[in-house]
Every structure is written in structure tokens, then in C-alpha cells.
């Protein structure tokens, strides 16, 4: 083989090796891309499955609540039970000449039966408020779909009442299901919370609301120095406020009755309690009393430069869901800064950022946590650090 043939053979061999190397690299890169695409697709499927599981757990919890509030599954039994309760309701709240007329149940999608009722009679306004409160306090799956109230003729103080009611009986509910025993958590148990704003209202403007204290009930003042503190009361209706001490004015304190500025000067360190009353000029007049704790302290020391704290992961940790499984309820805490979700049950320990504690209990509405010997509740979608701080500050 001549020198020229040898060089040509080497060149051809090198070209073939380069082509083979290029082909192998392209095949490897294609395999890597395919693998990464597959991993991404599986992650998307995983998220979808987790969302479906969460939605299913929520739907299961919601359905169990509906079953507890439902009438019995038998339409005849449901209609009889509800009509008996409805008759007792109108009698207890003094509805005169009451008429409670049911109509035929209406099946809906094979899931439940809707039972319509029509109620009418004559009633006084205070009794009407109590009747409506008792109706909504009963934790049935029912509602008032139509309500008509008109002044009764020839009977001052009486009202003609007409209302249409719809109530639901799930077909999957047991036939011997008992009526709900507890009042609905959606309604305040005290009827006075509703009757007072309705019966004691000014018919020429919205009901007057009492002033609200929005400041800090603990006040610190410097010994031997005049200290002024504006008392922060807010009137929801924008009325003008006036201020006064409930008891005789203390020697060490003065209160401006027009601006609400509290001026305190004490020559000795001590702690005092003063009771302040605030009232508006609305109709009817509303008042609010607030007990203030005044502590006389030494002047504060010179400020000390504080080292910058590390970022706290608990300030970005959110309770995203409360999920019921076979072993009970689980709290899902999403640590946003770490991109991970902690699934905690009662008895588990946790350490997130600056917070370290135990899970005391997990319920359908909140999780009870313990940090530094203090227990507090965390509800979706509250932030862990804020709930813990509020508990530790109280």
C-alpha cells in the first residue's frame, strides 16, 4: 500500500468514526429528551390525581354533612316528620290561624326529593323574628324560597305572613334518620343578636351600631412625664363620639370628652385600671365601655442594634387542606419556600422555620397545634407563623 493510499484510508476511517460518533450523540440526546418529557408528564398526572383525591375527600365530607342534615330517605316519612316539626314551630312562636300546606314531593335526578310547603298566618313582629331565628337555627337542608309580610287589617301590631319553604330529603338517607339535635353553627344561638337590631331600629336610616374599640387596651406611660394617648374608637355609622370615665376621674389621668385623648402623669411606677365609656349621637344612642390597663414604667433604654434575623419558613407556610382518610384527618401544610407539603396527623411533631411543636388534634374545620406550651387553632387558608404569633401574644 502506497503512502497516498494509507492517508486516504485513514481519512475515510476518521470520517466513518465521526459519523458514528455524531449518530450516537444524537440518539443519546433524543433519549434524554424523551425521558425528561416522560418525567414531566408523570408529574402532571401525579398532581391531577392528588387534586382528584382532595376533591373526593372534600365531596365525601360534604356528603356526610348533608346526610346528617337530611330528612329520612322515605318521602312519606320525610314529609310527616317535617310537617310535625313545622307545626310545632309556628305554634311555639304564636302564629295565629296557622296553615301549613305540603305539596307532592319532587324527585330530582334520583339524588334527592324536594318537599315544598306553604305556610301562612298572622303574627306580631317580635314573634316573627323568633320564628325566623328558630327556622334557620334548625340544621335541616331547608330554605325559605319566598317570604311576604304585610300589615294586618284592623289589627295594629300584627302582620300577615306568607312564606314558601323547600326542604330536601336525600334518597340515600336512612328511613329512620333522626332530626338534627344541635342548632346550626351558621346562626347565632342568641335570638337577641337579631331581634335587637330589628326591633330597636330607626326606620329613617339603617340600624345604629355601637362604637368599636380598635386600639390596644394596654397603655404604657413614662414615669414623671405627661403622656398622651388618643383612644382609637371607630363608629361604623360615622357618628360623632363623646368620651367619659365611668367612675370619678382619677387624679393622675384626664380624658378629653370631645377628642378622646387620654393624658396621664404619674410620679411613681405603678399599674392602674380605668374604665372608659364612649357613646355616639345616633338614634337610638349606642354606648361602649372599655377597660384600660395603664402601666407607669421607666424611660426606655437607648436603642440597641439588633442583628438581622434569618428568614422564617413558617411565615410562608399555609394550611391548604384538611383531608379525611382511613386513619383519620390529616392536615396538609404547604411550605412555599421549600416547595413541599407536610401531611401531619394528631401526635406528629413538626419543625418549620423558627417554630417547633406538636400536632394535638386534626378536625374537619381546623388543626390544633402546640408551640412553646401554648395551643392554638389553624384554619384553612391561614398562615402558620401569624396564627402562632397571635397565640403567643395573647
| Distance in angstroms (rounded) separating the CA atoms of residues 178 and 169 | 12
C-alpha cell, 158: 300584627
* Residue 20: inside a domain: no
* Residue 101: inside a domain: yes
Q: What is the CATH number of the domain that holds 230?
A: 2.60.40.60
Same domain, 344 and 318: yes
In the sheet where 367-371 sits, what is the strand order? 349-352, 355-362, 367-371, 374-378
Q: Which of 297, 330, 359 is the last residue of a domain?
A: 297
| Distance in angstroms (rounded) separating the CA atoms of residues 341 and 335 | 6
* Residue 335: inside a domain: yes
* Residue 88: inside a domain: yes
| Distance in angstroms (rounded) separating the CA atoms of residues 318 and 391 | 16
Per-block mean pLDDT, blocks of 10 residues, the chain (394 long):
77 81 85 89 90 84 84 91 93 92 90 94 91 91 93 84 94 85 77 79 73 92 90 92 88 91 90 92 86 88 66 87 86 88 89 89 90 87 87 70
Q: How far is CA 341 from CA 49, 57, 151, 238, in A?
A: 15, 17, 59, 46
Same domain, 235 and 152: no
Same domain, 270 and 328: no
Range of the domain at 237: 212-297
pLDDT of residue 83: 93
Same domain, 373 and 344: yes
Same domain, 88 and 185: yes
Q: How many CB atoms are located within 10 Å of the residue 391 CB?
A: 17
Same domain, 117 and 188: yes
* Residue 205: inside a domain: no
C-alpha cell, 379: 384554619
Same domain, 241 and 324: no
* Residue 129: inside a domain: yes
| Distance in angstroms (rounded) separating the CA atoms of residues 379 and 226 | 44
The count of structural domains within the chain is: 3
pLDDT of residue 143: 93
CA-based end-to-end distance of the chain: 98
Q: What is the CATH number of the domain that holds 88?
A: 3.30.70.60
* Residue 37: inside a domain: no
pLDDT of residue 177: 83
Same domain, 195 and 87: yes
Same domain, 276 and 235: yes
Same domain, 170 and 286: no
Kindly report the pTM of this predicted structure.
Answer: 0.43
* Residue 184: inside a domain: yes
Amino acid at each position: 500500500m502506497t503512502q497516498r493510499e494509507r492517508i486516504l484510508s485513514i481519512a475515510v476511517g476518521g470520517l466513518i468514526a465521526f459519523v458514528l460518533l455524531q449518530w450516537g450523540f444524537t440518539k443519546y440526546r433524543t433519549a434524554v429528551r424523551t425521558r425528561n418529557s416522560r418525567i414531566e408528564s408523570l408529574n402532571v398526572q401525579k398532581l391531577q390525581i392528588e387534586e382528584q383525591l382532595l376533591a373526593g375527600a372534600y365531596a365525601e365530607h360534604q356528603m356526610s354533612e348533608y346526610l346528617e342534615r337530611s330528612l329520612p330517605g322515605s318521602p312519606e316519612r320525610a314529609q310527616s316528620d317535617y310537617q310535625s316539626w313545622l307545626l310545632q314551630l309556628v305554634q311555639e312562636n304564636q302564629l295565629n290561624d296557622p296553615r301549613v300546606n305540603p305539596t307532592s314531593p319532587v324527585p330530582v335526578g334520583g339524588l334527592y326529593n324536594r318537599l315544598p310547603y306553604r305556610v301562612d298566618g298572622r303574627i306580631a313582629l317580635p314573634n316573627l323574628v323568633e320564628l325566623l331565628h328558630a327556622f334557620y337555627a334548625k340544621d335541616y337542608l331547608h330554605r325559605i324560597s319566598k317570604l311576604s309580610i304585610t300589615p294586618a287589617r284592623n289589627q295594629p301590631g300584627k302582620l300577615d305572613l306568607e312564606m314558601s319553604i323547600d326542604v330536601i330529603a336525600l334518597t340515600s338517607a336512612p328511613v329512620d334518620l333522626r332530626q338534627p339535635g344541635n342548632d346550626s353553627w351558621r346562626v347565632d344561638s342568641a335570638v337577641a343578636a337579631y331581634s335587637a337590631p330589628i326591633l330597636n331600629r330607626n326606620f329613617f336610616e339603617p340600624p345604629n351600631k355601637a362604637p368599636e374599640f380598635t386600639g390596644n387596651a394596654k397603655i404604657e406611660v413614662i414615669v414623671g412625664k405627661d403622656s398622651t394617648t388618643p383612644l382609637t374608637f371607630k363608629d361604623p355609622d360615622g357618628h360623632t363620639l363623646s368620651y367619659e370615665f365611668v367612675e370619678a376621674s382619677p387624679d393622675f389621668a384626664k380624658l378629653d370628652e370631645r377628642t378622646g385623648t387620654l393624658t396621664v402623669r404619674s410620679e411613681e411606677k405603678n399599674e392602674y385600671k380605668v374604665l372608659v365609656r364612649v357613646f355616639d349621637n345616633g338614634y337610638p344612642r349606642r354606648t361602649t365601655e372599655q377597660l384600660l390597663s395603664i402601666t407607669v414604667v421607666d424611660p426606655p433604654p437607648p436603642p440597641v442594634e439588633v442583628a438581622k434575623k434569618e428568614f422564617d419558613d413558617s411565615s410562608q407556610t399555609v394550611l391548604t387542606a384538611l383531608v379525611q382518610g382511613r386513619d383519620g384527618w390529616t392536615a396538609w401544610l404547604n411550605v412555599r419556600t421549600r416547595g413541599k407539603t407536610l401531611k401531619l396527623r394528631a401526635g406528629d411533631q413538626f419543625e418549620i422555620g423558627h417554630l417547633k411543636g406538636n400536632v394535638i388534634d386534626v378536625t374537619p374545620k381546623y388543626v390544633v397545634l402546640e408551640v412553646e406550651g401554648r395551643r392554638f387553632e389553624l384554619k384553612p387558608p391561614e398562615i402558620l407563623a401569624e396564627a402562632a404569633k397571635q397565640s403567643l401574644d395573647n
